[in-house]
């Protein structure tokens, strides 16, 4: 369990294809608004999707600018405008899923301590 004030740790795909656990940059985390754990505020849930626990998802990448932009877009979506599509994922081994599209959105959900997030399996 992460202590108060610490950035979330998460699984990511390393350059060699191995899964590693890393921590979200603390300075970056201070720039992000916390988002209430209610995916319906941010996502268009009209298309087929599954709700996958956050801890079962593996980030393919983490780009600082993308994470900040995703936070802003999610705040706009929560106000009823431009809802996002669910994350695109593909299965890995051991019950894990690789995020193909939506990595920055996932990192915002991790930062906000969500339990699950809508995903389209491809």
pLDDT band at 34 (very low <50, low <70, confident <90, very high): very high
- Give the model confidence (pLDDT) of 93-117 as tens digits: 889 999 999 999 999 999 999 999 9
pTM comes to 0.89
Q: Does the structure show a pLDDT above 70 at 1?
A: no
What pLDDT score was predicted for residue 98? 96
**SS3 state at 20:** strand
- Give the model confidence (pLDDT) of 5-16 as tens digits: 556 788 888 888
Three-state SS for 57-119 is EEECCCCHHHHHHHHHHHHHHHCCCCCECCEEEEECCCCCEEEEECHHHHHHHHHCCCCEEEE
The single residue listed with the structure tokens 């656990």 is 21
What pLDDT score was predicted for residue 2? 42
CATH level 2 (architecture), domain 9-121? Alpha-Beta Complex (3.90)
């Amino acid at each position: 369990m992460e202590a108060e004030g610490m950035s979330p740790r998460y699984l990511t795909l390393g350059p060699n294809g191995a899964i590693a656990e890393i921590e979200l940059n603390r300075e970056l985390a201070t720039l992000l608004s916390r988002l209430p754990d209610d995916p319906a505020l941010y996502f268009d849930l009209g298309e087929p999707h599954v709700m996958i626990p956050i801890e079962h998802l593996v980030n393919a990448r983490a780009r600082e600018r993308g994470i900040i932009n995703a936070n802003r877009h999610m705040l706009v979506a929560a106000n009823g405008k431009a809802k996002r599509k669910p994350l695109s994922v593909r299965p890995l081994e051991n019950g894990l899923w690789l995020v193909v599209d939506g990595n920055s959105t996932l990192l915002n959900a991790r930062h906000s301590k969500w339990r699950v997030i809508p995903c389209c399996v491809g």
